[in-house]
Structure 1
Amino acid sequence: MAEFPDLGKHCSLQSCKQLDFLPYDCDGCGKTFCGDHKFPDNHKCDQVNKHTASGDYSGDKSYSCTFEGCQGRELMKVTCMECEKNFCLSHRHQSDHNCEKLEIKEDKTKTAEHVRQIIASKPNKDSGMRSKGGKSSKTAAKVALMKLKMHAVGDKGIPQDSRVFFLVHLPKDTKPKSKAMFFSKTWTIGRVIDSVADFNKIVNSNNTGSEKKLRLFLHDCGVLLDTTASLELCLQKETLYNGSSVILESVHSDCSQIHNFKDYKS
């Protein structure tokens, strides 16, 4: 060991200080930790706790939601393709922000209203014609959840009442293409990424100087999920549901959205 005094770094955790030859840099506080304390939860990261305690983002680059009464902000623009206004992830769908364009389309003729009433009265038929708003996304997640629980994999040490299930679409060059997995609701999105990578033996360069990083995106719109946000907060804000589909992909650090999200299939 004396022949290589500069090799590796000591863990920043005061109670550890272990010399690690493959140290990890925390995305939250920026400090260096050993393999046992690389996750924010393991070294009680104060910066991550600040992010997860409040749903608001106070940085220089953030975009406020234009929905009346909503104080939500996002790291990237989430623009409605119809009314061209900006919203938070919770109000991104037309039905969630009462899109003025949606109202115009629905009220155009009495025939359109009549068709809408027929569809609403027969929820078990012609399901492909249902609205793609937040309510249908939540319903779809509930249906998917029952299937996911049958064959999902994950850390068996997570208590049953703390498990959150997702269908994870893996990077395009990975086989299989997707996998049902469960995670702890106390974890951050960053830890979810690390868990998926470890379990599926995917190269994870998030704690290195690599140009590309593994990031998690919403499958229904391709929008980036904040790595410092906790799953519990995402569930409360209904950014994600228990049973949602997400995409794991290696992208450049400035990527805020995957535009070919429809190409990711099971």
Structure 2
Amino acid sequence: MAELEIGEHCSFPNCNQLDFLPFNCEDCCQVFCKDHRSKSLHQCIQDVQDTGGVSSEPPTSTFSSYPCELTECKDKVPTQVICEHCRKNFCLRHRHQQDHSCAMLIEKPEPMQKTAELVKKITDSIKSKPPKPKKQLSSKAQKTAAKVALIKMKMHAVGDASIPQTERLYFQVYLPIEHRCKEKSKAMYFSKEWSVGRLVDKIATMASLRNENNLADSKKLRLFHPVVGSTFPMDAKLTKLLHEDEPLFNGGDVIIEYVDNDETQLDDLDLYKV
């Protein structure tokens, strides 16, 4: 495997020294090491022609230094570090084009920028396609899922302890959108003999929800079906809702939300289970 060589070799005859910060002579356009960077030391052809064979460049002082040409930088370096693009001298910290805002710099897209552009392109392409309709679980599948959830729900659900075990209905209650910063959902149990209205009042109490159902001009708390999004009548008995065409299931989900008095349907049910 070939070795990676950094720097350039001095062009002065019999020198050929590898210099990591080589000097580029502007007159003869050759590269030299620090020992031969001076025109007189490398016997620059242009210098000899201009002076009739005598170099006009004063001897390089042992303590000479070169200021960085970046305006806000005060550093000096013992040898010139010339940018090959703008031909100005810079210190080691500002020698790269990006570090001294080189006027000749051509910006290249960073790898992360290219990745972000690709991700955006793919995302926009996906958004432009019409969403596929979600497959709705059958009533049998919903009932099976509710039975599995019920086992776990009984371990941490909250409710009125005076309700007999044989009367208890368990639901995972998804709370209003405006309440999401506190809690997304809560497992609760109720009596199957209760009305929907009493269940709504109990949820409001246990979840500390604002309940203004008795005020004419306020938004109302209503209970909604988790799959079809329709509201349940406030006077309906819970036990009856277990035997509807689109039934609720013991251990299943319900949604409670604030709506206008005449609103009977939730459109975007996915918002509640994100």
Q: TM-score, normalised by structure 1?
A: 0.49
Whose relative contact order is higher, 1 or 2, with alpha carbons under 8 Å and at least 6 apart? Answer: 1
